[in-house]
């Protein structure tokens, strides 16, 4: 069942009527809406954006601020990253291209969209895969993160809405064959094989060990999300603020070494090893060397290398 909701900014219109109110969510707004002169074809652009997001997990026009997003929407330039789109059929890409035409007169109408091969025949050329093309690279990239960033990703993963992690949730369920909510090395290997990856990465065991933060020998759901979150999802400032505040226990806008230790280390950890680990994180993240991590320094860490 499909539920259609949120008509807060919708309105009835007549064919040929020109609308002028600049309203909508920046990621999904057509260029003509930004210009304040548009008609029903702006909705077809939004459908193209939604289709793009559903197939790869992130929007075609992305920026760290609304101004960045709107600037890219006005240009209308987008691409299909080979790593994320190699398993998506040309029919799907063709439909998206026709929906994201800058000129509304060149853009597909609702009727044309419904009669497109990809819609009409239910994606006839789609490949049956369960994993994105860069899935292993994301897992491997997680290994290079320091302990603070891994913990921050775990916090972010646990707080994201179901809508934002739907694709990853489906991937996890596809891999978790026995349905116990845990991924073993065997399950992950078999999942990679089913997705067409004939050569299992030689460092897979090391990758799993680094993702398995609690040392249970398997990967639970939160650990999986932490390692596979898309960078575009977790580098948004409002998302990172939620994680930062959990480390900044006294709320003064800075993370001290003691606050780091309180969150990252349990009481039974060797004191000397814990102190060394915390100092290494401070040396890496505290770029101005004042012994504390500001939110700006935290954001630089989060925006650094990622899968």
Domains and CATH numbers, the chain: 26-120 (1.10.510.10), 135-230 (1.10.238.10), 234-302 (1.10.238.10)
* pLDDT at residue number 270: 46
CB burial of 17-31 (b: ≥16 within 10 Å; e: otherwise) equals eebeeeeeebbbbbb
CB 234 within 8 A of CB 256: no
Q: What is the pLDDT of residue 306?
A: 41
CA distances from 5 to 10, 21, 248 (A): 11, 21, 38
Residue 255 main-chain phi, psi, to 5 deg: -110, 120
Q: Do the Cβ atoms of 106 and 199 come closer than 8 Å?
A: no
Tokens of 265: 């280390």
What is the DSSP track for 139-172? HHHHTTS-HHHHHHHHHHHHHS-TTTTHHHHHHH
What's the pLDDT at 105? Answer: 95
pLDDT digit string (tens) for 148-185? 898 899 888 888 877 777 778 778 877 877 778 888 88
Phi, psi angle pair for 3, to nearest 5°: -105, 125
Q: How far is CA 138 from CA 239, 259, 266, 305, in A?
A: 20, 29, 27, 11
Cβ(102)–Cβ(75) under 8 Å? no
47-56, 187-196, 217-226, range with the lowest pLDDT:
187-196
pLDDT-derived band at 206 (thresholds 50, 70, 90) equals confident
- 305 has a pLDDT exceeding 70: no
d(CA 231, CA 245): 20
Classify the phi-psi angles of 196: left when phi > 0, otherwise alpha if psi is within -120 to 50, otherwise beta: left
Which residues, in sequence order, are CB contacts of 294 under 8 Å at separation 6+?
253, 254, 288
How far apart CA 205 and CA 203 sit, in angstroms, is: 6
Determine the Cα–Cα distance for residues 300 and 94; give it in Å rounded to an integer: 37
* Region of residue 50 (phi > 0: left; psi between -120 and 50: alpha; otherwise: beta): alpha
Supply the pLDDT for residue 139: 80
């Amino acid at each position: 069942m499909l539920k259609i909701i949120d008509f807060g900014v919708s309105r009835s219109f007549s064919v040929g009527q020109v609308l002028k109110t600049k309203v909508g969510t920046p990621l999904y707004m057509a260029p003509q809406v930004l210009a304040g002169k548009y008609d029903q074809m702006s909705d077809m652009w939004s459908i193209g954006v939604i289709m793009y997001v559903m197939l790869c997990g992130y929007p075609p026009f992305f920026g760290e601020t609304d101004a960045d997003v709107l600037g890219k929407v006005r240009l209308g330039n987008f691409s299909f990253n080979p790593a994320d789109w190699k398993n998506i059929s040309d029919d799907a890409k063709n439909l998206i291209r026709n929906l994201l035409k800058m000129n509304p007169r060149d853009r597909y109408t609702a009727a044309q969209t419904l009669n497109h091969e990809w819609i009409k025949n239910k994606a006839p050329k789609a490949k049956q895969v369960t994993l994105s093309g860069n899935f292993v690279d994301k897992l491997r990239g997680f290994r290079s993160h320091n302990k603070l960033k891994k913990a921050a990703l775990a916090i972010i993963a646990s707080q994201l809405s179901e809508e934002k992690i739907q694709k990853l949730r489906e991937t996890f369920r596809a891999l978790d064959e026995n349905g116990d909510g845990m991924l073993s090395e065997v399950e992950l290997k078999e999942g990679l094989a089913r997705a067409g990856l004939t050569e299992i990465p030689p460092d897979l065991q090391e990758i799993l060990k680094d993702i398995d933060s609690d040392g249970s020998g398997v990967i639970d759901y939160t650990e999986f999300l932490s390692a596979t979150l898309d960078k575009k999802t977790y580098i948004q400032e409002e998302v990172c603020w939620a994680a930062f505040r959990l480390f900044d226990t006294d709320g003064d806008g800075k993370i001290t070494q003691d606050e780091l230790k309180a969150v990252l280390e349990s009481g039974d950890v060797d004191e000397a090893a814990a102190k060394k680990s915390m100092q290494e994180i401070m040396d890496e993240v505290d770029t101005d060397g004042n012994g504390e991590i500001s939110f700006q320094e935290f954001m630089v860490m989060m925006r650094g290398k990622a899968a």
